[in-house]
Amino acid sequence: MKTLLAACLLAAPLLAAPLAAQAQPAPWPAKAVRWVVPYPAGGGSDFLARNIGQQLSTQASQPVVVENKPGGNTAIAASDVARSAPDGYTMLSADNGTLVYNPALYKHLPYDPSKDLAPVTLMGRFPMILVVGPNVIAPDVKAFVASIKAMPEGLNYASAGAGSPHHLAMELFKTVAGLKMTHAAYRGAAPALADVAGGQVPAMMVDLAAGAGFIKGGKVRALAVAHAKRLPQLPDVPTFAEMGYDVEAAALVGLVVPSATPPDVIAAINKQVVTAIHAPDVHKKLVDFGIEPVANSPAQFADLLKSETTRWHKLIRDLQITLD
């Protein structure tokens, strides 16, 4: 009897070891990843997801499938991902429209960014640039401001869409400079830029990814960048701060997952995505496209979202901007 008991005790660790090993979750990713982009193919967010996703797929040896799901000012894609299985295999490219502006712009949203989505990393910044069309003769921002103030009716400006970072960036400039300006919303940056270049609308804020071709081709003129420092791609264009205006604004594109996703899975996704962003060829592609790569931690991204929410919600409330 004692011999049998001893044999069982010796065998127990051998039996438990495989069971314990089986209980450990497989390293992420262990299967295909669905990456949802809330904009049509071809834009800045799509470019970011596809380049990082391709590198992620290579280094993790798993497919990364980018799915474009535009509509509802990003709300359709956000609500879809928020209701997906919280297992790390459905991710969303989310900008400050999705995570910061929408809750202040809409009374009713099909998702709550603070409750339904968890931050993984800020992938990149798209700094905003003030551009003007051929009919604007002002040589710099100060002259541009003076010319608007001399117009009793003010000035119209274009944007990539109501509630977009481009729209809110111009509203910030308008407020800081004390200008009378009327918003003309377009369905995307490309048609807005086309009308600015054609002289139908005098000005707009645009990111370099969308506007580089128009700026370098001389179709529109860049007056200032809404960034802490000059952009390396536009070294001759001053910052707003250099011209005396406290205007900083960018489209911030990050990665989020359903909020119930386990912290260890979020950490694994963060590690893989940060590694992909820092891959030399990916980093260069992003910079060349006009994106400032970031790749921070989930906690750093969460802190940024809190400060951005405080900052922009005040502006939206003060200006009484609503979209429903």
* Confidence at residue 42, expressed as pLDDT on a 0 to 100 scale: 81
Q: Does residue 165 share a domain with residue 109?
A: no
Q: Does residue 315 share a domain with residue 223?
A: no
Q: What is the C-alpha separation between 13 and 41, in angstroms, rounded?
A: 54
| Lookup: tokens for 283 | 């980093």
Q: Does residue 131 share a domain with residue 121?
A: no
pTM of the model: 0.86
Compute mean pLDDT per 10 residues along the chain, 324 residues long, and list them: 49 48 68 94 90 96 95 93 97 96 94 97 96 96 96 93 93 96 91 96 94 94 96 95 96 97 97 97 93 96 96 94 88
Does 9 fall in a domain? no
Question: Where among 215, 243, 271 does a domain terminate?
Answer: 243
Q: Does residue 261 share a domain with residue 114?
A: yes
Domain count within the chain: 2
Does 293 fall in a domain? yes
* Confidence at residue 19, expressed as pLDDT on a 0 to 100 scale: 46
Quick count: other Cβ atoms within 10 Å of Cβ 92?
29
Q: What is the C-alpha separation between 253 and 49, in angstroms, rounded?
A: 10
- Domain range for 169 is 127-243
Q: Does residue 131 share a domain with residue 120?
A: no
Does 113 fall in a domain? yes
Q: What is the CATH number of the domain that holds 297?
A: 3.40.190.150
Does 155 fall in a domain? yes
Q: Does residue 266 share a domain with residue 192?
A: no
* Confidence at residue 9, expressed as pLDDT on a 0 to 100 scale: 47
Q: Which of 319, 233, 256 is nearest to 121 (CA)?
A: 256
Q: Does residue 185 share a domain with residue 121?
A: no
How many helices and strands in the chain, by DSSP H and E? 13, 10
- The residue ranges of DSSP E strands in 160-207, in sequence order, are 181-185, 203-207
- Amino acid identity of residue 310, one-letter, is T
Q: Does residue 279 share a domain with residue 212?
A: no
Name the percent of the chain in helix, strand, coil, to the closest 5. Answer: 50, 20, 35
* Confidence at residue 25, expressed as pLDDT on a 0 to 100 scale: 57
Q: Does residue 228 share a domain with residue 81?
A: no
Q: What is the CATH number of the domain that holds 225?
A: 3.40.190.10
